[in-house]
Structure 1
Amino acid sequence: MEEAREPFAVVTVVRTVKPSSAIVGAKALVTAAGEMIGFVGGQCIQSLVISQALACIEKGASQLVLITSDLSQLRSTDGITVLPMTCHSEGTVELFIEPKLPAPVLLVIGHSPIADSLQKIAVHLDFQVKSVALDHASSDGADNLSRFTETIRAHLSPGAYVVVASMGLYDTESLRALQGFSLSYVGLVTSPRRREAVLADLQNQGVSEAFCSFLSAPAGLDLGAVDPAEIAVTILAEIIESRRKKQTLAPVTPPVTENKSRREVIDPICRMVVDLNTTLHKAEYQGKEYGFCCPHCRQEFLKHPETYACTVEV
C-alpha cells in the first residue's frame, strides 16, 4: 500500500482487561476502503475499530481508543476516545490507531533558481518532490508542447501541490495542463503586473474562473523576500498554510471515508455499529433488513421484532 501510495491505518492493541480475545501487541491494518487485515479483537469491536480508523485517516491524526464495558470509564477523557463494549463477553480493549498517509506530491514546473531552491528545501518538509521542465520533455531535441503537457499530467496525483516557476517561458501552457485535476495548491512565480496578463490569457483560452481564482500569483506569502532561496521559503510557507487548512481545487476527490461498499446500521439489540453488507447475521421484518453483530442479538430480535424494529442507518 505504501508503494501504491494508498492511505491506511495501523491499529495496535496496547492494553486489555479480561475477558477479551485481544492480545497486547496485536496489530491490524485498516484500508481506506474499510477492510481490516489482521486481528485486534472479536467481531463485536471490529466495526467500531474500522470506523475510528477511517476517521483517523481522514483527519491525518493518531488516536487512542478505549472500548470498555466498565460504565465508570464511559466518560470524556482528554486524548482518548471512549466507546462502549457491546459484546456479551464484556472486557476492555485499548488501541492506538496511527494513520499512514502518502507524502503529498509537490510538482515544480520550470528550470530556474527559484525552482531549484524549492526542490532542495521541500524534501525536508515531507513532500514527494517532482520536477519537469520543457527541455526534459523534448523529443529528439524538439520542443514538443503536447509531450510536455502529457509529462506534467503524468506527474500529478489527487491533492498535489504545483508551483510553476518557468519565469514566463511557458507559464500559460503549464497552467492549462493542470485543468481537470483535484489539486491542493497552484502557485505561479510572477510579478503582480504580469499576473493580470497571464490571467487574461488563461481566460481567453477557456480556463475556468474557479481555476483562475484558486491560482496564487505571485506565489508565496509577502515576507519581503529577495533572493531565490528566500522566495522559495515564502512559497513553501504558503503551501504549508494551504495544506493545514486543507484547501482543494475542484474536481474534489471523495474523502477516504466515503466507501460505497459499506452500509453501516445499528444493531437494534446491543446498539453496535454493523456493516449490513458484510455481517453474517441478518433478519428481515416488515420489508426491512436488519443487521446484527452476533447470533445472540439476532435471536433476541426474532423473539420480539416489533419491540426492536427501530434501527436506523448510521
Structure 2
Amino acid sequence: MVNIWKEAARLEETREPFAVVTVIRSVKPTSAVVGAKALIKSSGEMIGFVGGQCTQSLVISQALKCIEKGISQIVLITSDTPQTRTDDIIVLPMTCHSEGTVELFIEPKIPAPVLLIIGHSPIADYLKKTAAYLDFQIRTVGLENVHSEGTSSLSGFTETIQANLSPGAFVVVASMGLYDVESIRALQGFALSYVGLVTSPKRREAVLNDLKNQGVSEEFCSFISAPVGLDLGAVDPAEIAITILAEIIEYRRKRRTFAPFTSHVIENKTRREVIDPICHMVVDLNTTLHKAEYQGKEYGFCCPRCRQEFLNKPEKYAYTVEV
C-alpha cells in the first residue's frame, strides 16, 4: 500500500496538484473512521480509504472540483433528509443501502505559481526581492545569462524562457527596452495568468506595433499589461516593483487568464462520471463492473442490485446524467 504522505511529497516535488481528504465525522453503519485520510490526484486516482464504494466516486468528484477551484470544502454524505447545500457545507445523498453518514474535509494542495522575471534592471531586482515574501516560485531569465552560458543565438534565449514557463505562470518583462519584443514573442502559445511589460505609455504603442507586425495576435497583445503595475504614483524602482506585485495579486485572485488556460485538473480520459439511474450514486462508467445497454445507450451502476432493477423496468429509468 502506498503511503499517502510519501506520495504527497512526490507530487509536491513534481509540482502536481492533489487533494487530501480527511474524515471528520461518521455515523454507523458507514465504514469510514474519523481521522482516516485519502489522497486524490488530479487524474482522479485515490490513494487511501475514507469510506466504501458508495462514497468513493462522490469523494473523487468533489475533490477534483476543489482542486479546480483551489478552495477547501466540507462535504457531508448522509442518508438523513432533507439534503441541502449551504455556503459552508455541501450535502450529498448517501446511496449505500446500508445508509449511514460521513463528513469529510477536502483540502486541495496547489503548487505555487511561477513568477518569471525577464531582464536585468533595478526594477527586476526589487521585484525578485519583494516577491520572495509571497507564494510564488520565482525564476529569472536574462539574455545576458544566455550569452554567458555560451548560447548567443535568439533561439537559445527563446528556449530558455519557454523552459522556465509552466501553465498559469505570471511573467514580467523588465529588460528596459533591450529585448522586450523578443521576450514577449517567446511567450506565444502558453497558457499564462499575467504578462506585464515595464515600459512608458509612449513606448508601449511602438512595442505593440512591432509585436503585431511580427505575427503576435491582437488578442495576446491586448492581454499584456503595459505600462505594468497599478497606477499608484510610484516613482523609484522599489515602489514600481510593489505596484507590479499589487497588479499580479489582483490578476491571481480574480483569475484573469490568457486562453487557452491549462486547468489544475489533468484531463483524464479514463474517467467518465455518470449517475446511477436507480440510486443516483456517482459512477465511473469506464471502470464500473455493472453496466447495461438500452436503446443504444450505456448505463453504469454501483452494484448488481441496481443493475437488475434497471433491467426489470428499463423504460422507467432510461436516462443517463453525466456529472
TM-score bucket of the superposed structures, by smaller chain: over 0.9
Aligned residues of 2:68 and 2:263 also touching (Cα < 8 A) = no
- Counterpart of 1:67 in structure 2 is 77
**Whole-Å Cα distance in 1 between the matches of residues 163 and 318 of structure 2?**
52
Question: Per the alignment, in what secondary structure is the counterpart of residue 138 of structure 1?
Answer: helix
Aligned residues of 2:17 and 2:264 also touching (Cα < 8 A) = no
Alignment partner of 1:44 is 2:54: yes
Match of 1:6 among 16, 37, 59: 16
**Whole-Å Cα distance in 1 between the matches of residues 181 and 109 of structure 2?**
36
Correspondence list, 1:142-161, <5 A: 143-161=152-170
Match of 1:226 among 229, 235, 246: 235
**Whole-Å Cα distance in 2 between the matches of residues 198 and 286 of structure 1?**
60
**Whole-Å Cα distance in 1 between the matches of residues 141 and 86 of structure 2?**
49
Aligned residues of 1:55 and 1:257 also touching (Cα < 8 A) = no
- Counterpart of 2:6 in structure 1 is none
**Whole-Å Cα distance in 2 between the matches of residues 27 and 78 of structure 1?**
24
CA-CA distance at 1:307 after TM superposition: 2.4
C-alpha RMSD over aligned residues: 1.6
Aligned residues of 1:268 and 1:310 also touching (Cα < 8 A) = yes
- Counterpart of 1:198 in structure 2 is 207
Alignment partner of 1:253 is 2:262: yes
Task: Label 1:36 to 1:140 Cα distance change in 2 as closer, same or farther (>3 A).
Answer: closer
- Structure 2 gap segments, 5+ residues each: 1-10
- Counterpart of 2:30 in structure 1 is 20
Task: Label 1:18 to 1:191 Cα distance change in 2 as closer, same or farther (>3 A).
Answer: same
Match of 1:267 among 264, 271, 276: 276
- Structure 1 gap segments, 5+ residues each: none
- Counterpart of 1:178 in structure 2 is 187
AA matched with 2:72: S
AA matched with 1:69: S
**Whole-Å Cα distance in 1 between the matches of residues 123 and 149 of structure 2?**
27
CA deviation vs aligned residue, 1:220-262 (integer Å, no higher than 9, x gap): 0000011111101100111111111111113332562754322
**Whole-Å Cα distance in 2 between the matches of residues 221 and 173 of structure 1?**
24
AA matched with 1:20: T
**Whole-Å Cα distance in 2 between the matches of residues 203 and 33 of structure 1?**
38
Alignment partner of 1:106 is 2:115: yes
Q: What TM-score comes out, normalization by structure 2 length?
A: 0.93
Q: What TM-score comes out, normalization by structure 1 length?
A: 0.95
**Whole-Å Cα distance in 2 between the matches of residues 168 and 237 of structure 1?**
23
Aligned length: 313
Task: Label 1:128 to 1:251 Cα distance change in 2 as closer, same or farther (>3 A).
Answer: same
CA deviation vs aligned residue, 1:208-231 (integer Å, no higher than 9, x gap): 111111111110000001111110
Alignment partner of 1:277 is 2:286: yes
CA deviation vs aligned residue, 1:3-50 (integer Å, no higher than 9, x gap): 111111111111100001111111111111111111110111111111
AA matched with 1:103: A
- Counterpart of 2:45 in structure 1 is 35
Alignment partner of 1:209 is 2:224: no
Percent identity of the aligned residues?
78
Aligned residues of 1:104 and 1:160 also touching (Cα < 8 A) = yes
**Whole-Å Cα distance in 1 between the matches of residues 146 and 38 of structure 2?**
43
